[in-house]
Amino acid sequence: MGKKIFIILTIICFLCIVAGIIIYFSPEARLMRHISKGENYLKSGKAVLAAEEAEKALEINQKHYAPYLLLGKIYITQKQYGLAIDKLRTADELSPDSIEIYYYTAIAYRGKGEFIKALAKFDKAITLEERSEDRTWGKKLTEAKFDTYIEYGRLLQSRGRLEEGKEKFVKAMYIDPENPYPHYYLVSLYIDMDRFDLALEEAKNTMKLKTTLGADAFYKLAGACKDRALGKEGPELYRSFTKKLGDMIEKESNLIIRELLRQIRNFSENELKKMEKEKGQ
């Protein structure tokens, strides 16, 4: 009886070894080893070697999505966004409704400046992620969508499309209410719109979330006041700005923020004195 059990166990072990060898050398396993190696090369900044591994994987199976996805990632790192989109489109055809493929396609579109398409791909990826049990992509997708709205808003602002730019910054704000950058960029946008009252509010919001960035926003606003300070309105602009800073200092309990506000107020007061002196000459 013991001998029979030994023989059976030996046969099972032998079959397991054979099965392992077959699996290891199967086309799928060989292809995925090339992909894994390529991913590691890409992480190390060795794009050429990564591309070689992708091509080796394609030699095994041209109908597998993974080599095209890897090539798409490689082209993104090289800022060849058009080529990346082509490869990722093929990957999507071979493996529809992939969160990872949608994510990198969105990144490629964003790099190409096609923000509407990028946001649409991010939305598809987020919808898929919400429906699946895979929650590993949630934070990454949210952060990427936030960055896309910020970048899109800045582009629109640079082109003078201020209302549209404002809309993108506000959407970024809804995605991450604790992030100071939408408020920070709204400061410069409202300055461009000559809405110094709204710019001041956003500078305050920026400072609440990140003190150093808020200080920069206030200096930017003070500098804008100086640039706009022409004729009779100049001194009045600075008086109003200085008074509001004084009110904020009185209400602020954080000592570091109070000191920063004092420095900005001193800058504003000095600019006002210069104007009044020049006016009196």
CA distance 105 to 92: 9
CA distance 165 to 193: 11
* Residue labelled with tokens 């992909």: 35
Q: Give the closest residue to 214 by CA, choosing from 242, 183, 244, 192.
A: 183
Structure tokens at 278: 């020049």
The model's pLDDT over 165-193, given as tens digits with 9 standing for 90+, comes to 999 999 999 999 999 999 999 999 999 99
99-103-109-110 Cα dihedral, nearest 10 degrees: 150
60-26-40-88 Cα dihedral, nearest 10 degrees: 50
Ramachandran quadrant class, 119 (left: phi over 0; alpha: psi -120 to 50; beta: rest): alpha
CA 228 vs. chain centroid, Å, equals 33
Structure tokens at 92: 């999507």
The model's pLDDT over 205-254, given as tens digits with 9 standing for 90+, comes to 998 899 889 888 888 887 777 666 544 455 676 677 777 777 777 777 77
Going by pLDDT thresholds of 50, 70 and 90, the confidence category of residue 22 is very low
More confident residue, 273 or 147: 147
Structure tokens at 71: 């090539």
Structure tokens at 257: 């923020």
Q: Count the Cβ atoms, other than its own, within 10 Å of residue 186.
A: 28
What pLDDT is recorded for position 76? Answer: 96
Name residues whose C-beta falls within 8 Å of residue 134's C-beta, 6 or more positions apart in sequence.
99
